[in-house]
Each structure stands twice: as C-alpha cells, then as structure tokens.
Amino acid sequence: AAGVIQSPRHLIKEKRETATLKCYPIPRHDTVYWYQQGPGQDPQFLISFYEKMQSDKGSIPDRFSAQQFSDYHSELNMSSLELGDSALYFCASSFGRIRTDTQYFGPGTRLTVL
Amino acid sequence: QKEVEQNSGPLSVPEGAIASLNCTYSDRGSQSFFWYRQYSGKSPELIMFIYSNGDKEDGRFTAQLNKASQYVSLLIRDSQPSDSATYLCAVIKAGGTSYGKLTFGQGTILTVHP
C-alpha cells in the first residue's frame, strides 16, 4: 500500500539559511499534519491542513510557514534556521472528514543545522 | 504536567512474557487514543487505536481504555526481541478548535531480552 512520502530524507543547512520540506500524503487522504521531534523528545505538533486550508496550529515558530497545494501535497518552509531547529520532521496524513481519523506517518526528514 | 503521561522506563521483559505499558491523560475531552511504536531514528508506526471503553485485541496486542480513570494501556503478549522500541501513547481531543492533532506522551522504552 502507498505510504506518506517525504523529501528530502536528510538535509544539512547552515544557521540563518532556509529549508523547504515536502510531504506527499497517502492517496485520497485530504489532511496533512506536521510534527517536530527533537532528540530524546516526543513529537510535537506544528500545523495541519484540511482540504488545502490551515485547520490547526501548534507550537510552530513564526519563522516557519506551510501550505497545502491543490494536489494535497504540503510544504513546510523554514527560514532563518537556528541550531535548535535540528530535529526530525514528520508529516502524517489522514482522511480527515472525521476529525479523529487515524494518522499515518511518513519516514521523516532529518534536518541538521550547523 | 504533561497532558499525556507515560512511564519512560526502560521496561525490560524476557522473551515470551507479557509487556504492560501504561498511559494517563489529563483532558476529559480526549476522544481517540493511539499507540505508536517507534524505532530509533524512524517514524512512529501505528500499533493500535481505541475509541471506546474496554478492551480491543489485535493479534498479540491488546489496548485497554478506561475513560473514567483517564487511563489507557497496551499489553503485548509473547513479547519478541523485535518488539524492543519506544512506545508512544497519543490522544486526540476532537471538537472546538482541535482538528485531530495528536498529543503524545514522552514514550516508554521497551526492551525484550532473549
């Protein structure tokens, strides 16, 4: 079965640079969630989209922005990168008509900021 | 206090034994409960979900939910070394401004030794 696709899988950036992470949800899934997981920590919710509209916002820095496109893929844009942004970034998707539907996670993007 | 609490462990059980993982949550508005397994550096993998009070069994896994006590657990029967991982409890509070974001516990590290 098709899974969530994330790209790139690994990304190395310098401080103050920008980064763009991409997420392609499972086919027919219309809801995308972004999570950040620092070393030794649990995943923290950043932002979500349902039917191309932002549906919820968590602890996402103002330096980050995201959107969902007409084909339901999503991009997380990160600017003025800081050392503390180094983390695993997961995208998850669900068929979101029922808010409590199960979320399936992509393999993640490991971002390292030097 | 975290909204979702788990014993961080590590929990060590011998191969073939039953592993019992526990989770409590603080928000009575929580409606959906999930157990994810996460290997180091990998993405969370859905193990079980439960919405109603009682037990739900799937193969070697049983999830138990008690909403009155705000408690959810995961039992793993016939534990195998391949079950060694971090187990994340997650909840969704549906309704209001929440559109299905997962709130995770800090995870319990399980080690199954031969």
**pLDDT tens-digit readout, B43-60:** 999 999 999 999 999 999
Q: What is residue A99's predicted lDDT score, i.e. its pLDDT?
A: 56
CB-nearest to B101 from A41, A42, A56 is A56
pLDDT in tens, B4-18: 999 877 999 999 999
Alpha carbon B108 to its chain centroid, in Å, reads 8
Has residue B78 got a pLDDT over 90? Answer: yes
The size of the A-B interface in CB pairs under 8 A is 72
Residue B34's pLDDT band (cuts 50, 70, 90): very high
More confident residue, A32 or B97: A32
Q: What is residue B2's predicted lDDT score, i.e. its pLDDT?
A: 84
Compute the distance between CA of residue B114 and CA of residue B111 in angstroms, rounded to an integer: 10
More confident residue, B79 or A97: B79
Mean pLDDT of A88-111: 86
Q: Is A16 helix (H, G, I), strand (E, B) or coil?
A: coil
Q: What beta strand segments (E) does chain B contain?
A: 4-6, 11-14, 19-25, 30-38, 45-50, 54-58, 61-66, 71-76, 85-93, 102-104, 108-113
Bridge pairing between strands B61-66 and B54-58? antiparallel
Has residue B68 got a pLDDT over 70? Answer: yes
Q: What is residue A91's predicted lDDT score, i.e. its pLDDT?
A: 97
Has residue B96 got a pLDDT over 60? Answer: no
Question: Would you call B101 an interface residue with chain A, using a CB distance cutoff of 8 Å?
Answer: yes
With CB atoms and an 8 Å threshold, state whether B102 touches A103: yes
Q: What is residue B55's predicted lDDT score, i.e. its pLDDT?
A: 96
Has residue A2 got a pLDDT over 90? Answer: no
The chain B residue lying nearest A5, using CA atoms, is B43
With CB atoms and an 8 Å threshold, state whether A58 touches B49: no
Residue B93's pLDDT band (cuts 50, 70, 90): confident
B window 17-46, beta carbon within 8 A of A:
31-32, 34, 36, 41-46
Cα of A78 to nearest chain B Cα, Å: 21
CA B50 vs CA A30, B4, B34, B104: distances in Å = 22, 16, 6, 15
Average pLDDT, chain A: 93
The chain A residue lying nearest B38, using CA atoms, is A42
Cα of B106 to nearest chain A Cα, Å: 5
Compute the distance between CA of residue A46 and CA of residue A76 in angstroms, rounded to an integer: 10
Q: What is residue A95's predicted lDDT score, i.e. its pLDDT?
A: 85
Q: What is residue B8's predicted lDDT score, i.e. its pLDDT?
A: 75
Q: Do residues B6 and B90 touch, judged by C-beta distance below 8 A?
A: no
